[in-house]
Amino acid sequence: MTTVIEAVGLTKHYRGGVHALDGVDLRLDANRIHGLLGRNGAGKTTLMQVLTGQLVRTGGDARVFGADPFEDAAVLSRTCFIQESRKYPDGYRAKDVLAVARELHASWDAAFEERLVDDFRLPLDRNIRKLSRGQLSAIGIIVGLASRAELTFFDEPYLGLDAVARQRFYDHLLADFGEHPRTVLLSTHLIDEVAALLEHVVVIDEGRVIVDADADELGQRAFEVSGRSDAVEAFAVGRELLHTQRLGSLASATLLGPLDPASRAEAESAGLELGRVSLQSLIVHLTTDLESAREATTKGARR
């Protein structure tokens, strides 16, 4: 597989000791939809800004299509970056933004643009400042999709979009990706909504990559058991526990590790039910529960 994005020890530090990126190692393959997930302030936007040459890195190396993206016009012409906080010049109407984007992207599909404008009901003649939050997001989505750039970054592209419009975005992205494969890096907090789209998932936390895995493999990383609390507790002994929940005499536990045949048999003979862990729960547990568990262990060891 061709690598489109490669980062080695990538750092971006700000004054005041902020390590927005703190040694990011990453390789993203071509023609896949990659998810970039993580909590607020984890470093997702910073990573995209460095990879699109909008920010200068402090250290390490970043390659996009094999070149340094910073001020490399050839790299940037193959890239489309959709950012939620984009500012437009005074007096611009929605159709002016689309006209500029059309000029910038060699693979722009005007017929697709037209369909998307209809589908997202974008008022083309309205001044950009008068558009609703959702309509502004729709502009970004239309540009990101119709540009058909070889590499598209969507940074939280759908602030303010209603559930119907978000579903349309997912449907269009998936259908168009099927016909015109390209590389997409999508950052979002609506993890379960996009889980089915993602082939590969990167989770960053405090500027570091904590998960870098194919979505299928990630689904095998944890499982849930539920049933009588004493049976759940007994089953959890010796296993890495991510999370537990109790309700009266019943409990459920999220455990790390693949569900091998022996564990399955053990759970079944203890009368426990087995279930999958959603991508969102897994990531929430990995970025919060594991952290607290490790903190508790470190504190315990220090005592």
- Each residue of 231-267: b (16+ CB within 10 Å) or e? bbeebbeeeebbbbeeeeeebbbbbbeebeeebeeeb
At closest approach, how far in Å is the CB of 67 from ligand ATP? Answer: 23
At closest approach, how far in Å is the CB of 194 from ligand ATP? Answer: 14
Judged by the rule CB under 6 A, the positions of this chain that interact with ligand ATP are 14, 18, 20, 38, 40-46
Residue 40 or residue 249: which is nearer to ligand ATP going by CB?
40
Q: What backbone torsions phi and psi does residue 102 show, to the nearest 5 degrees?
A: -60, -40
Distance from first CA to last CA of the chain, Å, rounded?
49
Residue 2 or residue 85: which is nearer to ligand ATP going by CB?
85
- The Cα–Cα gap between 242 and 290 comes to 6
At closest approach, how far in Å is the CB of 14 from ligand ATP? Answer: 3
Residue 212 or residue 233: which is nearer to ligand ATP going by CB?
212
At closest approach, how far in Å is the CB of 153 from ligand ATP? Answer: 12
- The Cα–Cα gap between 142 and 146 comes to 6
Residue 19 or residue 221: which is nearer to ligand ATP going by CB?
19
DSSP calls for 177-234: HHHS--EEEEE-S-HHHHTTT-SEEEEEETTEEEEEEEHHHHHTSEEEEEEEHHHHHH
At closest approach, how far in Å is the CB of 49 from ligand ATP? Answer: 8
Residue 38 or residue 69: which is nearer to ligand ATP going by CB?
38
Q: Which two tokens stand for residue 27?
A: 């390789």
Residue 43 or residue 69: which is nearer to ligand ATP going by CB?
43
SS3 3: strand
At closest approach, how far in Å is the CB of 46 from ligand ATP? Answer: 3
SS3 257: coil
C-alpha distances out from residue 39 to 43, 105, 125, 187, 287, Å: 9, 32, 37, 11, 8
Residue 142 or residue 204: which is nearer to ligand ATP going by CB?
204
At closest approach, how far in Å is the CB of 38 from ligand ATP? Answer: 5
Give the type of residue at 218: L
